[in-house]
Amino acid sequence: MTVLTGKVAVVTGASRGIGLGIAQRLVARGDRVCITGRNAEALAEAAESLGKNAIAVAGKAHDPSHVETAVSITMDAYGRIDYLVNNVGTNPVFGPLLDVEADLLRKVFDVNVVTVFAWTQAVHRAWMAENGGAVVNVSSVGGLRPAPGLGVYGMSKAAVNYLTAQLAAELGPAVRVNGVAPAVVKTQFARALYEGREAQVASTYPLGRLGEPSDVAGAVAFLLSDEASWITGQTLVIDGGSTLVAGLA
């Protein structure tokens, strides 16, 4: 039987993929979790797979009322929120940056950047300000340098990296804030980047394969642990070595 740690985490965008993988890792080590996602049916199935130490609150992550509701339900259920994983993100456009309408750019930044700020602010006010905790923001290698077709997404993730460092500087020592920046991970979200050519894409990675959700989950679990108690403001690159070579797959 899993021995409970007494710690509680909120993981956004966790009905599948990286978010669900992170929730699975945290539950397996004994944490209790609240997962969120906009698809209520898929989220309920994910929560059921996690077992009795997980709850689910469906809604759009960038909706302020959903943020408030999810934080309130978690506090009512568990009485604390020690960890926050900001995993939700969107990438609805691929192509030259200047072909993008400004309204779409605003939408991407609202979901990918403002949402990270809003969830962190809400959890900080509800628990972490007085009790401490740790936050991990899921970014991307796309935020590290320009990549063809991914300008909007990359800009938003570069902003997340800056936000991670800024919050770490402001919220220490009680709260640690870090990030992870994966390359292509085999999820539905990233499917367009490798579908039908996985071997070709993987061949450009020094480690010879694409990422799995468990690769990211392990790093996040570490950053949300006492073993990482002297690490804050960092964005850990998880990329199979892809950023060591020219181009981003």
The CA-based dihedral angle spanning residues 90, 164, 22, 115, taken in that order and rounded to the nearest 10 degrees: -40
> Two tokens at 118?
């809003």
CA distance 5 to 27: 10
CA distance 16 to 3: 25
Beta-bridge mates of residue 117:
none
Query: What CA–CA distances, in Å, run from 240 to 151, 183, 215, 231, 249?
Result: 22, 8, 10, 22, 11
How many CB atoms are closer than 10 A to CB 209? Answer: 14
CA distance 166 to 160: 10
Q: What is the residue-wise DSSP string for 44-59?
A: HHHHHHH-TTEEEEES
- The residues that are catalytic are 153
